[in-house]
Amino acid sequence: MLELIKEPWPWYIAGPLIGLTVPVLLILGNKSFGISSSLRHICAACIPANISFFKYDWKKELWNLFFVFGIFLGGIIASHYLINSTEISVNPKLKAELATYGITDFSNLVPTQLMNFASLLTLRGFITMVVGGFLVGFGTRYAGGCTSGHAIMGLSNMQWPSLVATICFMAGGFLMANVILPIILSL
């Protein structure tokens, strides 16, 4: 059983399990699914500032904080007990392309040549980690939610803004992976 958990689950199992969170949350109390809103709840709980954006009853959303803590705790458990010691399976064509950028270590989910503290001090690392992180945060706030909130919850509820946001997320991802990332990696 442990070996089954360590392997990636196929889309026809993982997808429906993720999709079932929508009706379960709606049945359990008309709750909406999304991760980015939890940062707002954390800030509202921890920072007693006089900012109107954080003035609301965040205690109503306490379940969301437990959910995010569960994700964090699950990540720690998985990284310590469920780690697969074999090299990550990467398409040979992608490996060859990444090797031209100096990325050859596929022992982790994220290549160590790209994401580590030493590369943070390089232009390539600064752009991917700091600028990229800022743009993800800004885009999430500007779109009114993250990919999980819009693509899983919003589309399930047939919300037009979620369809527009999901299309923009996908287009941005394709543009980033195929046009912008090769330019950044060549720095």
Instruction: Give pLDDT, residue 97.
Output: 92
d(CA 149, CA 32): 8
Same domain, 12 and 68: yes
Tell me if 67 is assigned to some domain.
yes
Same domain, 79 and 126: no
d(CA 55, CA 142): 19
Same domain, 118 and 182: yes
Q: Residue 28: CB partners within 8 Å, gap ≥ 6? A: none
* Residue that terminates a domain, selected from 26, 60, 83: 83
Tell me if 94 is assigned to some domain.
no
Instruction: Give pLDDT, residue 105.
Output: 86
d(CA 1, CA 23): 28
Reported as a single tens digit per residue, the pLDDT across 68-103 is 899 899 989 888 888 777 777 889 999 999 999 988
d(CA 31, CA 129): 32
Same domain, 18 and 71: yes
Q: Residue 155: CB partners within 8 Å, gap ≥ 6? A: 162, 163, 166
Which domain covers residue 156, as residue numbers?
Answer: 114-186
Tell me if 7 is assigned to some domain.
yes
Domain count, the chain: 2
Tell me if 93 is assigned to some domain.
no
Tell me if 2 is assigned to some domain.
yes
Instruction: Give pLDDT, residue 182.
Output: 93
Query: What is the pTM assigned to this prediction?
Result: 0.74
**129 class by beta-carbon count within 10 Å (0-12 exposed, 13-18 middle, 19+ buried):** middle
Tell me if 104 is assigned to some domain.
no
Give the H or E element holding residue 124: helix 123-126
Instruction: Give pLDDT, residue 155.
Output: 87
Instruction: Give pLDDT, residue 72.
Output: 92
Which residue ranges of the chain lie beneath pLDDT 50? Answer: none
Same domain, 3 and 68: yes
